[in-house]
């Protein structure tokens, strides 16, 4: 009944919207953004969600969680599309399909300098350099770099030209004829930059243009009697022709296009994109989305527009193998036209080689989805088994694990890792520098860390707003009792178990109020818990070590008024460590070389605030 009242309220609100382009932002009961969409007519689109007309399962599920919505009016539909993508990146709504974080995209970069360098990067800066990609993976980038460096002889060293020309002996790559040897001075700036131009043509999928340029250069060098340069051009031509012979030819040599395929079933969906350059399949990218994420025309246009906004080069033809309504095709075309200097055709192939290639892309997307389902079912089975073994009320889709690491009294760190749907999720790992605990009390450190974590459970945004289905502590019943007491005080109901290790410091069992639970007999569960325990230990040790390094570079003593690096070093050297300084009286501290009586008083007060 309550849900009916909410739907009625939302429908009334939607009915008051204007017939204007804009973005709508669906929110749940806690104000968390769960879906972002756009429309050329906000009133019509948003009202459809709350009307009794039949909707697909995913959309119905999303609507059942909507408690309110917000909206932003835009002047044009393209403006709405850009804003929608921006909001999706900001809020990462659970029901939208989206690209991974752009920070992780692999690119090839050609620097803007007299002798440009070609290199791998994940950062696309506004530095006048040329960027190519993004590519499907790091291995693809390094494979392309290796081919370019081997065939064109572009240097891979860290020398800076022209400053380093003639300063050092040439390297082994020059001796192996895999580098043109800029460092030797045998190749001038003009010749080197012609090789870079060939690399740019190749990266844009235009090997034929690179070959034409090289043949022209070879002829020119021969006429000028620069026979070594002509020989280098000849060898480069030969190497590029051999690469062309090995490429997987899928279309006419003149063809360059992107082919996009979509596979959808009730469990997941998958998108595969083939990149065809000069008739050869040069690369592909694959994306998989879970069962909750909505796949419709609106979402697909948003996803593809975001995808192409990160592409350095957009071909003249883009083919898609699925159904898109005319309005969506027009919006996608208009948006991509703003990104590309040439006209782009977007259409669905009906026959011929491209149609066959689109079917192949669809087969790839289907296989990717099958692999995802197989892995997910395997993870689901062991999570279900874990839930049975621990007598949990729900299958633990989100597991958080904690470990305390310390080195003396000054370096105390709690590490938190997240395992979501059976897979580690490093983007949501967190660490806590323990602030209030005196000494090395592990229980108190764990209490502080988890107290600080649960303060954010009711946040509307961020990973800390997610309720864990299960919390695992690297420790025994002492740790479990401390955190259960905390949860009782805060009226929080989250299952807590300790991960107990054997005499060889290896995972043995889990423990709770009901005693110890042997997990070794169930291999799939044991391997999951072992992985979690090893990872949280590694992560917390790493964070503690980093904290120690920072302290070594900047001692805690330097936070005391009047104490700099030199005085801190003298104090630590004299007393042998921070713990002894904390115990010292004012006279002992003042006896250290370079420490004044005022310094000594300030230091004593800093470490004895409670006295």
Looking at the fold, whether 205 and 158 belong to one and the same domain comes out as yes
Of the listed ranges 63-77, 151-165, 546-560, 562-576, the one predicted with least confidence: 546-560
Q: Band of the pLDDT at 32, cuts 50, 70, 90?
A: confident
| Residue 42 sits in the same domain as residue 113 | no
The pLDDT of residue 487 is: 92
Which pLDDT score, from 0 to 100, does residue 347 have?
A: 93
Specify whether 73 is located in the same domain as 112: no
Q: Are residues 137 and 183 in the same domain?
A: yes
pTM of the model: 0.60
pLDDT at 103 over 70: no
Q: What is the pLDDT of residue 5?
A: 85
pLDDT of residue 407: 67
Give per-residue pLDDT as tens, 173-199: 777 777 878 888 878 888 888 888 888
Strands, DSSP E only, in 234-307? 257-264, 269-277, 280-289
Is the pLDDT at 366 greater than 90? The verdict is yes
Does residue 226 form part of some domain? yes
Quick check: is 416 in a domain?
A: yes
Residues 183 and 313 in one domain: no
Structure confidence by residue, pLDDT tens digits, 500-524: 876 666 677 899 888 888 887 788 8
Are residues 224 and 152 part of one domain? yes
pLDDT tens digits, residue range 484-503? 999 999 888 899 999 987 66
Of the ranges 7-11, 131-135, 368-372, which one carries the lowest mean pLDDT score?
131-135
Residues 346 and 416 in one domain: no
- Distance between CA atoms of residues 480 and 495, nearest Å: 10
Nearest residue to 417 via CA among 363, 468, 370, 369: 468
Q: For residue range 66-102, list pLDDT tens digits in order.
A: 999 999 999 899 999 999 988 998 888 989 988 765 5
Domain boundary among 65, 80, 96: 96
* Residue 303, H or E segment: helix 297-309
pLDDT at 246: 46
Q: How confident is the model at residue 247 (pLDDT cuts 50, 70, 90)?
A: very low
pLDDT at 239: 64
Identify each DSSP E strand in 445-547 by its residue range.
470-473, 496-501, 507-512, 515-518
As a residue count, the chain comes to: 611
* pLDDT(48) > 80: yes
Q: Which residue has the tokens 């009711």?
A: 458
pLDDT at 555: 62
Distance CA 174, CA 273 (A): 38
Residues 218 and 311 reside in one and the same domain: no
Mean pLDDT of 10-38: 92
For residue 460, the model assigns a pLDDT of 60
Q: Which strands sit side by side in the sheet containing 280-289, from one edge to the other?
A: 280-289, 269-277, 257-264, 317-320, 345-347
d(CA 132, CA 210) in angstroms, rounded, equals 16
Instruction: Look at 482 and 463; give whichever has higher pLDDT.
Output: 482
Q: What is the CATH number of the domain that holds 56?
A: 3.40.1440.10
Is residue 252 domain-resident? Answer: no
pLDDT for 1: 46
Last residue of a domain, one of 350, 370, 390: 370
- Please name the residue that has the structure tokens 């997990």: 519
- For residue 346, pLDDT over 90 is answered with yes
Torsion of CA 112, 116, 121, 124, to 10 degrees: 10
CA distance 309 to 329: 16
What digits encode the pLDDT tens for the residues 164-177? 788 778 787 777 77
**Residue 588 belongs to domain spanning:** 554-607
pLDDT tens, position by position, 272-286:
999 887 677 777 889
Q: In whole angstroms, what is the distance from residue 203 CA to residue 438 CA?
A: 59
Q: Is 306 a member of any domain?
A: yes
Does the residue 46 lie in any domain? yes
> What is the per-residue pLDDT for 403?
92
Q: Note whether residue 380 is domain-resident.
A: no
Residue 610 has a pLDDT of 58
In a domain, 383, yes or no: no
152 and 87 within one domain: no
130-156 average pLDDT score = 78
Q: Count up the domains in the chain and report the number.
A: 5
Determine the average pLDDT of the residues in 208-230.
76
- Percentage of the chain beyond pLDDT 90 is 31
CATH classification at residue 594 = 1.10.150.20
Mean residue pLDDT of the chain comes to 84
| Residue 167 within a domain | yes
Share of the chain above pLDDT 70, in %: 91
Same domain for 336 and 206: no
Q: Residue 147: is it exposed, middle or buried by C-beta count within 10 angstroms (0-12/13-18/19+)?
A: middle
pLDDT digits (tens, 9 = 90+) for 310-320: 887 888 999 99
Three-class DSSP labels, 400-446: EEEEEEEECCCEEEEEEEEEECCEECHHHCEEEECCCCCCCCHHHHH
User: At which of 483, 508, 541 does a domain end?
Assistant: 541
User: CB neighbours (10 Å) of residue 358?
Assistant: 22
Question: What string of DSSP letters covers 48-94?
Answer: HHTSSS---HHHHHHHHT--EEEEEE-SSHHHHHHHHHHHHHHH--T
Residues 344 and 405 in one domain: no
Same domain for 418 and 518, yes or no, is yes
Region of poorest pLDDT, from 339-353, 364-378, 548-562: 548-562
**Chain center to CA of 376:** 20
| pLDDT band with cut points at 50, 70 and 90 for residue 553 | very low
Report pLDDT for 24: 96
| In 278-372, beta strands by DSSP E | 280-289, 317-320, 345-347
- Kindly report, residue by residue over 251-267, the tens digit of the pLDDT: 565 678 999 999 998 88
């Amino acid at each position: 009944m309550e849900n009916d009242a909410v739907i009625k309220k939302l429908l009334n609100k939607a009915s008051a919207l204007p017939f204007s382009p804009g973005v709508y932002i669906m929110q749940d009961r806690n104000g968390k953004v769960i879906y972002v969409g756009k429309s050329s007519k906000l009133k019509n689109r948003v009202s459809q969600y709350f009307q009794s007309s039949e909707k697909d399962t995913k959309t119905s599920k999303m609507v059942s969680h909507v408690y309110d919505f917000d909206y932003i009016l835009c002047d044009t539909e393209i403006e709405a599309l850009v804003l929608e993508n921006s909001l999706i990146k900001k809020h990462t709504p659970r029901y939208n399909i989206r690209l991974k974080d752009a920070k992780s995209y692999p690119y090839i970069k050609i620097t803007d300098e007299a002798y440009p360098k070609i290199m791998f990067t994940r950062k696309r800066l506004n530095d006048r350099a040329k960027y190519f990609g993004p590519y499907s993976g790091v291995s693809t980038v390094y494979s392309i770099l290796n081919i370019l460096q081997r065939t064109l002889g572009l240097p891979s060293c860290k020398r800076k030209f022209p400053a380093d020309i003639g300063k050092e002996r040439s390297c082994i790559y020059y001796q192996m004829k895999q580098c043109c040897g800029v460092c030797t001075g045998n190749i001038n700036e003009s010749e080197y930059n012609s090789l870079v131009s060939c690399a740019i043509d190749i990266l844009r999928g235009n090997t034929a243009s690179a070959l034409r340029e090289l043949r022209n250069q070879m002829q020119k060098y021969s006429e000028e009697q620069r026979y070594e340069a002509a020989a280098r051009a000849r060898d480069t031509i030969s190497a590029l022709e051999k690469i062309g012979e090995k490429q997987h030819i899928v279309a006419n040599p003149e063809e360059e296009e992107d082919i996009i395929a979509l596979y959808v079933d009730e469990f997941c969906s998958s998108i595969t994109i083939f990149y065809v350059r000069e008739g050869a399949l040069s690369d592909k990218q694959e994306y998989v989305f879970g069962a909750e994420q909505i796949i419709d025309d609106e979402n697909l246009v948003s996803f593809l527009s975001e995808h192409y906004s990160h592409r350095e080069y957009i071909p003249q033809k883009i083919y898609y193998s699925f159904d898109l309504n005319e309005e969506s095709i027009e919006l996608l075309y208009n948006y991509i036209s703003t990104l590309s200097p040439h006209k782009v055709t977007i259409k669905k192939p009906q026959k011929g080689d491209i149609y066959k290639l689109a079917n192949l892309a669809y087969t790839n997307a289907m296989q990717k989805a099958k692999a995802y389902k197989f892995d997910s079912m395997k993870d689901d089975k062991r999570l279900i088994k874990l839930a049975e073994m621990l007598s949990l009320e729900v299958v633990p889709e989100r597991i958080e694990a904690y470990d305390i690491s310390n080195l003396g009294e000054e370096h105390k760190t709690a590490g938190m890792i997240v395992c979501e749907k059976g897979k580690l999720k490093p983007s949501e790992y967190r660490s806590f520098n323990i602030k209030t605990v005196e000494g090395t009390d592990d229980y108190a450190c764990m209490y502080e860390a988890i107290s600080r974590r649960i303060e954010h459970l009711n946040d509307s945004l961020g990973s800390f707003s997610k309720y864990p289905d299960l919390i695992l502590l690297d420790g025994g019943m002492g740790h479990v009792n401390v955190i259960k007491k905390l949860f009782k005080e805060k009226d929080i109901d989250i299952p807590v178990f300790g991960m107990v290790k054997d005499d060889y410091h290896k995972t043995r069992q889990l423990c709770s109020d009901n005693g110890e639970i042997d997990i070794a007999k169930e291999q799939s569960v044991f391997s999951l818990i072992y992985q979690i325990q090893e990872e949280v230990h590694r992560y917390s040790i790493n964070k503690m070590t980093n904290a120690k390094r920072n302290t070594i570079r900047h001692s805690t003593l330097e936070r005391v008024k009047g104490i700099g690096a030199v005085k801190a070093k003298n104090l630590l050297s004299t007393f042998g460590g921070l713990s002894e300084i904390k115990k010292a009286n004012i006279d002992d501290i003042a006896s250290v070389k370079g420490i004044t009586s005022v310094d000594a008083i300030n230091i004593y007060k800093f470490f004895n605030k409670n006295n």
